[in-house]
Structure 1
Amino acid sequence: MLFPPLPAKPLALQFKSVSFCALKPGPKLIVLGAVHGNEVSGTQAILKMIGEFETGERVLKAGSVTFVPVTNPLAYNRGQRNGDRNLNRNLTPTATPQDFEDHVANWLCPLLAQHDVLLDIHSFQKGDVPFALFGPKNNDGLLEAFAHEHPERALAFRLGVNRFVDGWLDTYAKGVANRVAYLKETGQPSDGLNTDPRYGMGTTECMRAGGGYAVTLECGQHDDPNGPAVAYQAIDKALLHLGLIEGEEPEPVRQYQHLSLVEVIDKRHAEDSFVRAWSSFDRIRRGELVGIRHNGDEVRAPRDGFIVFPNTTSQAGQEWFYVAVENL
């Protein structure tokens, strides 16, 4: 499968979305690429989709779809995860933008609010197979009240992957509580270390807060040559499932693995290091040595489960790795 070339760098520091609307009403889908600047499989798939709609190879029968090929142009130009900071944290409009990602948020959050469904396409640093993340069960709690559990999971189970992860924001909030306790115990200032659970707000959380629902697709390692095809297939299946284009309804995956994030471990010093090159979904056993702190303290697995999102480049005071358990 051939994909268009990526946009040339430097990309202008402006925001671009491309929308197609059918004559008949229907769901409003938005698809994001390059929320993180070095995660461009979604960008390539989106550009191919835009081309197909522009030539008439694809035609909407109902609703609308909006494509954002490069959500964070500054990070894209730098070829790295962040511009000034991680766009997928503290994503909320502000009257006093302090960094480039604040300007993105002031444009992106209102755009998300105009839609019903979000497909946010990412890739990962270390791991093996693609997977999707969805949100909480229906609830009326204070952290992430939600009422679209069933349609959100129905979409996720039709994107063409067979591994699923949930529990993100709740686990992040628990991690913040642990971070606050550690700072209090050690007498360290919180400057530069975010201690607000709402800092875990990213694109999908913003979408849910606005009344919609959202799925994140992690379509492989950053440089996986099959990543754009995984992303393209997922967009196609989302369009079919939502009834935006003609075609058969995709079948939900029958055999799958469902994991729930339950703990997050922070990096406390820039020189904290892993004892091996961990990849997402490597199995860990309670008490197994995972890393060594700068001061020599051992970091051991708190329970049996799986390591998720091990980040060798995380900064002190940020998430180092997550622990997940199988949801049977």
Structure 2
Amino acid sequence: MISAIIHGNEICGAFALDQLLASGFTVDRGRLILVFANTIAFLRFDPSRPYASRFVDEDMNRVWSVDLLEAPQQSVELARAREIRPFAESADYLLDLHSTSLPAPPMLLCGTHVKGLDFAQKMGYPSHIVADAGHAAGVRLRDFAAFGDATSAQIAMLVECGQHFDSNSPAVALNTIFAFLRAADMLDSVPKDVPDLPPPDTQCHIKVTDVVTTQSNRFAFTRNFQCFEKVAKGGTLIALDGTRKIVSPYDDCVLVMPTQQPVQGQTAVRLGRYVVK
């Protein structure tokens, strides 16, 4: 299963899936499910307000706990997630296509289990692998049910294809799709008419050790950090959350996807370190 527009303003995945459908693409083995997830939010996209259509009622990538899906709560995103649930449960492999609000290198988020890291390395694309457990605010589709179970053979990847409106992000999404399908042994070769991006010389692996969740509405970074920027010294002040000081927990700490406008209760940044084989 390949899903796009879990967030309505992350349009690169929709472009990639549309290209697959328009070309008549088929896999060599197995069954491929393509999901346009948050279509209501997507159809509200306004180029003059490009971030307003991320969701309608709530973040659709925080609703994927079984308890919440089976609870009485109602929202546009929950209703759609409940429709998608049986398809996700039936998938041996899942790829969820995303993009970032700030410029960032493409990256695979593989979860914390060995099965995810092994599959990400088998894909060989894109260049960065991030192993993290998700968000305090809710469960991602990537971590839903068996995908987040170390003992299950079902595997899910989340790919960030670069900045939302980077002209290269649809090509990154498409190349990631083909890397995913080949790793899942569903595809023997990439179609000739696909714009190919050079594979990375090597993949680097970042293990997230800390997730900084905002506790106040006065969170601010000490400066404009970039994704994958390395803080050399442990104990360096990197942000203030009201009166709470956020410091790098160790030397050579890597900042993963620092958020431009952190919202109380949401992830502001992930902190990790490079893993050397």
TM-score when normalising by structure 1: 0.70
Corresponding residue number in structure 1 for 2:6: 35
Q: 1:306 aligns with which of 229, 232, 254?
A: 254
> What aligned pairs does 1:4-153 form with structure 2 within 5 A after superposition?
30-53=1-24, 58-68=25-35, 70-76=36-42, 77-78=44-45, 79-91=52-64, 92=66, 93-138=69-114, 149=115, 153=118
Tell me if the contact between 1:156 and 1:215 (Cα under 8 Å) persists in the aligned partners: no
CA distance in 2, matches of 1:168, 1:275: 25
Count of paired positions: 253
* Structure 1 residue ranges, 4+ long, deviating more than 4 angstroms after superposition: none
CA distance in 2, matches of 1:75, 1:303: 40
Change (3 A) 1:135 1:298: closer
Unaligned runs of 5+ in 2: 46-51, 191-198
| Cα distance per residue 1:42-91 (max 9 Å; x no partner) | 110110011112xxxx33332111111x3112332254333211111131
Corresponding residue number in structure 1 for 2:131: 166
CA distance in 2, matches of 1:49, 1:122: 17
Q: 1:235 aligns with which of 177, 182, 185?
A: 177
By how many angstroms is 1:241 displaced? Answer: 3.3
Sequence identity (%): 23
Corresponding residue number in structure 2 for 1:271: 218
1:322 correspondence with 2:270: yes
Tell me if the contact between 2:219 and 2:241 (Cα under 8 Å) persists in the aligned partners: yes
Corresponding residue number in structure 2 for 1:181: none
Tell me if the contact between 2:102 and 2:260 (Cα under 8 Å) persists in the aligned partners: no
Larger Rg: 1
Tell me if the contact between 1:33 and 1:42 (Cα under 8 Å) persists in the aligned partners: yes
SS of the equivalent of 1:64 reads coil
Counterpart AA for 2:9? N
By how many angstroms is 1:253 displaced? Answer: 6.1
By how many angstroms is 1:209 displaced? Answer: 4.9
> What aligned pairs does 1:181-220 form with structure 2 within 5 A after superposition?
199=138, 201-206=139-144, 208-209=147-148, 211=152, 212-220=154-162
Corresponding residue number in structure 2 for 1:184: none
Q: 2:207 aligns with which of 242, 260, 279?
A: 260
By how many angstroms is 1:242 displaced? Answer: 2.8
Tell me if the contact between 1:31 and 1:119 (Cα under 8 Å) persists in the aligned partners: yes
SS of the equivalent of 2:250 reads coil
SS of the equivalent of 1:220 reads strand
By how many angstroms is 1:254 displaced? Answer: 5.9
CA distance in 1, matches of 2:203, 2:27: 31
CA distance in 2, matches of 1:318, 1:240: 35
TM-score when normalising by structure 2: 0.81
